[in-house]
Structure 1
Amino acid sequence: MLDDRKLEVLKAIVTDYVASREPVGSKALVERHQLNVSAATVRNDMALLEEEGYITQPHTSAGRIPTDKGYRLFVDKLARIKPLSPAERRAISAFLDGTLDMDDLIARTVRLLAQLTHQVAIVQYPVTQRGQIRHAELVTLSPERVMVIIVTASGRVDQGVVEVGYLDPDAIAELRSQIVGAVIGRAPDDAADALANVLETIRPEYRPMAASIVATTLQLLAAEPTSQVVVAGVPNLAGARFERDLRPLLEALEEQVVLMRLLGEAAGDDVTVRIGEENTADGFQSTSLVASGYGAAGERAASLGVVGPTRMDYPATIASVRAVARYVSRFLMEG
């Protein structure tokens, strides 16, 4: 366990490094902070903090910078959340007031988060209107392969290829008719329920081939997303300092599934912070995620948060994410 003085030294190192982006030395700590000890004592405390893995020396003769472990201790025990100023609260309220609908709310929220935190903002939101199935087709590609195509009213097209034995033309025609009758004009969930009974209506000799095609059709119906993610503030990464190549992070920010997994693992009812290697999603190991759930009437509908370098202003970022999540939740309750 670290005593209070060493905790104060760690707090000062994190604070100075976040502000300056430069490794912090003992002399600077004594000059900038009321530690009431000598530079030699601070050097000894820094040596112990380094030995315990809370700080590290990036280069010989350089000062120290926090490690992921140091940031974690800072967030858990040392950081005091900075309350938003009245002006900041008014700005959030004004930015979100006048929202027209859910899509407009999400667009405003993700821009607001990016502006407040100067990080990459990520907002997940539920898709409440899942498009009805507008078209379904079975296309014979070869004597042993058939493609299943599902088109929704929103224009989304999903397709899958099924490898079966010999395709009997009469069987394909019968199955096409049954599938079309079961899914057209229905929402994906309802279409899947109707399709589950199709095999019982197929002639027994056609059922082995039909089972594979119906299974693929059910998979395509399940692929219709129930939530989506929007991102803003990616240019904010340009001025950040990362220990690793930025390319995997930029690629990951374009993947909806990765972002939903990232938020899903982190976000709870209150603000959650994931630092460095605590983020298991590929591309995010050199970043920190500050996330929170939001929703109406105490029910978490989805999640929002920001991603940035581990060298971030955690107290201010946590306060901003928490405040925006509460404003969005209030909007949903009032709506």
Structure 2
Amino acid sequence: MQMDDRKMRVLTAVIEVYTHTGEPVGSKLVSEQMDVSSATVRNEMAALFNMGLLEQPHTSAGRLPSYTGYRLYLDQLMQTLPLTPKERGGVDALFNVRDPDPDKLLEDAAQALAQFTGCAAFTATMPPEAVTVKQVGILPSRSKAVVILIIASNGVVKSRVCRLDFALTPELLEIYNRFATATLVDKSLGEISKIYLNSVAVSSGGYARVLTPILSGVYDLCQEISQGQFALSGEANLLSYKEFQPIAYEVLEFLGDRKNVLSLVQKAQGRTTVTIGRENSHPVLYDSAVVVTRYRIAGGATGAVGLIGPVRQNYAKMIPYLEYFSDTLGSLLAETYDEQQ
């Protein structure tokens, strides 16, 4: 059966009405939108049903778009709606921050996206493979504690407190800093493995025992930097959609694992990727849509913003908003990292 212009218009109308109401769509509503008879629309809806582009839930007289119908709509029929000056201004105002902290910036961005879209929203940065340790410092905190500070070549700064089982003297602190600089600075994050750090501890001779907790802290910080930055917000938004109510616990448990969410970014290809229904590789998301938009930061680093929500989304509005949002966030992060170099 041929997919002619009228069938495309009927499919588009069904999707737009269903997106707004969340209820099965009858021929009368569609006929009013298209200004054609209900009988004509019924015939076209029956044809779309036979083509697998519409579904009939239970004994309802209305129809729902199938995931196949949504895919056709996204790939061929959807016309994106450009942002209004007011909407652009709202995004610009959100990022009008002086001297922003990158971690806080990602958290605020995720919260703003979740509020605007009513979905679960995440933001992430992925550092390039060539990131190195630019500076490492071991600073006194208390008599038996130090602060380990690492600055990476991509501008990311990480620190943590390391507790010791001995009192730290100024002489020991100087030795630690010289040793850390000689063995860690200019090393790539990938090179700073547990095996490498064990060899560093052994090469320190009599200082191996006291260096071990500090080197363990260095390893953890390097792992944090290599994993990039990440923020998630709006998980509870999903509870307001009836589609998620039977599977709410499973979805929230899935989102609670950072690795699960980052795997959605890794699978995304191109500028913006929309994955719907069973296109998702995770069964818990078979009734969901995932929208991921990538952006560039600087020096090979990349980032992504994403949404997880019901399949019935206003994609025509959401995708341009997400792309403008991600471009603005990427530009601000690039400026921040440049200032930290």
What's the TM-score, normalizing by structure 2?
Answer: 0.71
- Give the aligned partner of residue 46 of structure 2: 47
Change (3 A) 1:250 1:95: same
Q: How far apart are residue 253 of structure 1 and its match?
A: 0.6
- Give the aligned partner of residue 15 of structure 1: 16
The structure showing larger relative contact order (alpha-carbon pairs under 8 Å, at least 6 residues apart) is 2
| Identity in percent | 32
- Give the aligned partner of residue 262 of structure 1: 264
Q: How far apart are residue 80 of structure 1 and its match?
A: 1.1
1:250 is aligned with what amino acid? Answer: L
- Give the aligned partner of residue 231 of structure 1: 232
- Give the aligned partner of residue 288 of structure 1: 289
Equivalent pair of 1:118/1:233 in contact (CA under 8 Å): yes
Stretches of 4+ aligned residues off by more than 6 angstroms: 127-134, 181-185
Q: How far apart are residue 266 of structure 1 and its match?
A: 1.6
1:15 is aligned with what amino acid? Answer: E
Whole-Å separation in 1 of the counterparts to 2:104 and 2:263: 24
- Give the aligned partner of residue 250 of structure 2: 248
Q: How far apart are residue 239 of structure 1 and its match?
A: 1.5
Change (3 A) 1:189 1:27: closer
1:263 is aligned with what amino acid? Answer: V
Number of residue equivalences:
276
Q: How far apart are residue 86 of structure 1 and its match?
A: 0.9
Q: How far apart are residue 77 of structure 1 and its match?
A: 1.2
Equivalent pair of 2:103/2:229 in contact (CA under 8 Å): no
Q: Does 1:326 align with 2:327?
A: yes
- Give the aligned partner of residue 66 of structure 1: 65
Matches within 5 A, 1:69-218: 69-99=68-98, 100-126=100-126, 154-155=159-160, 186=184, 189-192=190-193, 195=196, 198=199
Bigger drift between 110-119 and 87-96 goes to: 110-119
Q: How far apart are residue 34 of structure 1 and its match?
A: 2.2
1:237 is aligned with what amino acid? Answer: L
Equivalent pair of 2:239/2:248 in contact (CA under 8 Å): no
Whole-Å separation in 1 of the counterparts to 2:299 and 2:48: 41
- Give the aligned partner of residue 156 of structure 2: none
- Give the aligned partner of residue 57 of structure 1: 56
| Structure 1, gaps ≥5 residues long | 135-150, 158-180, 203-216
Structure 1 residues 84-104: Cα deviation after superposition (integer angstroms, max 9, x where no partner): 111111111011111512123
Q: Report the 3-state secondary structure (helix = DSSP H, G, I; strand = E; otherwise coil) of the residue aligned with 2:113.
A: helix
Q: How far apart are residue 193 of structure 1 and its match?
A: 8.8
- Give the aligned partner of residue 312 of structure 1: 313
Change (3 A) 1:302 1:28: same
Structure 1 residues 108-145: Cα deviation after superposition (integer angstroms, max 9, x where no partner): 211221122121111112467989798xxxxxxxxxxx
- Give the aligned partner of residue 160 of structure 1: none
Q: Report the 3-state secondary structure (helix = DSSP H, G, I; strand = E; otherwise coil) of the residue aligned with 1:291.
A: strand
Q: How far apart are residue 332 of structure 1 and its match?
A: 3.3
Whole-Å separation in 2 of the counterparts to 1:132 and 1:309: 45
1:46 is aligned with what amino acid? Answer: M
Equivalent pair of 2:297/2:303 in contact (CA under 8 Å): no
Change (3 A) 1:246 1:267: farther
Whole-Å separation in 2 of the counterparts to 1:226 and 1:152: 18
| Structure 2, gaps ≥5 residues long | 139-146, 150-158, 163-178, 204-215, 337-341
Q: Report the 3-state secondary structure (helix = DSSP H, G, I; strand = E; otherwise coil) of the residue aligned with 1:283.
A: helix
1:94 is aligned with what amino acid? Answer: A
Change (3 A) 1:257 1:61: closer
Whole-Å separation in 2 of the counterparts to 1:320 and 1:61: 35
